Amino acid sequence: MTKQKSTNRNKTVEKVFSIVSVILLIAAWSLGGLRTDNSQSQFFKQVLASGEQAVEVSPRLFKVVPDGQRDAEPLKWIGIGAGVGYGGELTVGGVFLSDGQVETIALLSSKETASYFDKVVDEKLPDGLLEQNIVRTLSIDAVSGATLTSDAYTHALNQAADPVRAIEFNYQLSDTPALWEYLKWLDLAAVLFFGVAVWVNKTRSPYKAKMNGALLFASTVVFGFYSASLYSASTMGGLIFGSWLTGVANYTPFILLALSLGYIVYYNRNVYCQSLCPFGAVQQCLAKVGNAKSSPVRHQFFVWLPRVILLATLCLGAYFRNPAGFVYEPFGIAFGMIGGMYLFVLTVLIVLTSLVVRRPWCQSLCPINAMTDFVVFNKNWFKQMRSQPSKKKRASSVGDSAENAQRSRQTERKEREE
């Protein structure tokens, strides 16, 4: 009896948390839309000298002229362009002289993963683009470990310069790629790997464990060390709030996430964690090295902690319109040595703990477990709500049948008495 009450109480808490989560996400998105983006106006204040004004030529092109002389020849140009990085779009503003020289560059907004962009800035990539001339394509060697972000930054500046090229030099260089052009062979590999993972999990072959180990190894090489294409809380935020619609440089994490969600909804299981997750595979290898013990049953604290962290991460990403800006997973450090000091410390702690306890990250902080719990619980809750009316109808029909039978017996009794 006490156990039943405890179960019912836990279900009530889960329902409340689910409803509150949805409300908070909607509120964060709505309030984020009310924020005023002052980055462009601040950029103009910094680049305009006293006695100058910016006149809009097109939505992404402005000419700088003396105050009060809107039709004068431009002193310089201000262009705005966008490029697509690992986590999403970043917008760059550039100031160009009439002879084509790049005078100033500034980042206006970014949905890119913060750790990758920080590495680009630390390597002074923007400085390398200054004083180049837009007569030729602006280019610079990409920063190792942040190639996609480097390319996105350079592309954004080239896009900002293109209208100036058209006016000053009568030609353009860059085109806006179509959404399908961002798809790569890794995306097809993600679909194939996921299909194999489903088959391995369903097979009854005596070699199932070995096949799963081989799949984990291959996935770690391809989606871990080669491309760092693990999906994370920022991927979930990007999928929910649609940042993938404007293009991302790497769709593989979104494809893996979408396939995982579909499988969870249908089968109530997440094969990604068991057969594809590179970080899970690394933890398993370390567990064998250290002869780690099996993890005990998860304490309720470690059930709710990742849920709260995931919700906070998604809300912050929604409010600031930058899901990739709030990353707490150690994947960047583990597979590319990219990330802040706190991520480095966290990664080291997980690596050391993995020698003693199996999959400590998965058992304590991983957002994928929180996502799986949320989807499975709400799916079952929805099915339960749908089944209740049919149960009531069946109960009602049974009651009506019993009542009709009773009336029939009463009628027969009266007829016999008469």
pLDDT band at 398 (very low <50, low <70, confident <90, very high): very low
pLDDT band at 397 (very low <50, low <70, confident <90, very high): low
What's the first-to-final CA gap in the chain, in angstroms? Answer: 53
Q: How far apart, in whole angstroms, are the C-alpha atoms of residue 244 and residue 237?
A: 10
Overall average pLDDT of the 158-186 stretch: 78
**Using an 8 Å Cβ cutoff, are 86 and 112 in contact?**
yes
Overall average pLDDT of the 397-415 stretch: 53
What type of residue sits at position 303? V
Strand partners, 79: 61, 94
**Using an 8 Å Cβ cutoff, are 343 and 53 in contact?**
no
Q: What percent of the chain has pLDDT over 70?
A: 87
Q: Look over the chain and give the mean of its residue pLDDT values, rounded to a whole number.
A: 86
Token output for 132: 């180049």
Strands (E), 60-201: 61-66, 76-84, 89-97, 102-110
Which pLDDT belongs to residue 223?
95
Which pLDDT belongs to residue 417?
47
Q: How far apart, in whole angstroms, are the C-alpha atoms of residue 179 and residue 256?
A: 18
Residue 125's φ and ψ, nearest 5 degrees, are -60, -45
Q: How far apart, in whole angstroms, are the C-alpha atoms of residue 107 and residue 154?
A: 12
Q: How far apart, in whole angstroms, are the C-alpha atoms of residue 108 and residue 315?
A: 22
Q: How far apart, in whole angstroms, are the C-alpha atoms of residue 297 and residue 22?
A: 28
Helix (H) or strand (E) holding 55: strand 52-58
Q: How far apart, in whole angstroms, are the C-alpha atoms of residue 18 and residue 9?
A: 14
- CB burial of 86-111 (b: ≥16 within 10 Å; e: otherwise) equals bbbbbbbbbbbbeebebeebbbbbbb
Q: Dihedral sign for Cα 350, 309, 90, 64, please.
A: negative
pLDDT band at 401 (very low <50, low <70, confident <90, very high): low
Which pLDDT belongs to residue 294?
75
Using the 8-state DSSP alphabet, how is residue 224 labeled?
I
pLDDT band at 348 (very low <50, low <70, confident <90, very high): very high
Q: At what angle do helices 252-267 and 367-417 cross, to 10 degrees?
A: 30
> Which pLDDT tens digit goes with each residue over 207-242?
999 999 999 999 999 999 998 889 999 899 999 988
- pLDDT surpassing 70 at residue 395: no
Quote the pTM value.
0.80
Q: Dihedral sign for Cα 219, 377, 240, 362, please.
A: negative
> What radius of gyration, in Å, describes the C-alpha atoms of the chain?
29
76: left (phi over 0), alpha (psi -120 to 50) or beta: beta
Overall average pLDDT of the 180-207 stretch: 90
Q: How far apart, in whole angstroms, are the C-alpha atoms of residue 46 and residue 64?
A: 13
**Using an 8 Å Cβ cutoff, are 257 and 231 in contact?**
yes
- pLDDT surpassing 90 at residue 272: yes
**Using an 8 Å Cβ cutoff, are 335 and 278 in contact?**
yes
Which pLDDT belongs to residue 174?
55
For the ranges 346-350, 351-355, 414-418, the lowest mean pLDDT is seen at: 414-418
- pLDDT surpassing 80 at residue 37: no
Q: How far apart, in whole angstroms, are the C-alpha atoms of residue 345 and residue 326?
A: 17
Which pLDDT belongs to residue 180?
59
pLDDT band at 296 (very low <50, low <70, confident <90, very high): low
- pLDDT surpassing 70 at residue 339: yes
Q: How far apart, in whole angstroms, are the C-alpha atoms of residue 228 and residue 156?
A: 23
Q: How far apart, in whole angstroms, are the C-alpha atoms of residue 411 and residue 390?
A: 31
**Using an 8 Å Cβ cutoff, are 223 and 300 in contact?**
no
pLDDT band at 186 (very low <50, low <70, confident <90, very high): very high
Residue with the larger pLDDT of the pair 167 and 36? 167
pLDDT band at 182 (very low <50, low <70, confident <90, very high): low
Which pLDDT belongs to residue 418?
46
Q: How far apart, in whole angstroms, are the C-alpha atoms of residue 250 and residue 165?
A: 29
Q: Dihedral sign for Cα 110, 113, 119, 125, please.
A: negative
Which pLDDT belongs to residue 333?
84
Q: Dihedral sign for Cα 330, 331, 332, 333, please.
A: positive
Q: How far apart, in whole angstroms, are the C-alpha atoms of residue 246 and residue 237?
A: 14
Which pLDDT belongs to residue 416?
43
Q: What angle do CA 254, 255, 259 make, to 5 degrees?
A: 115
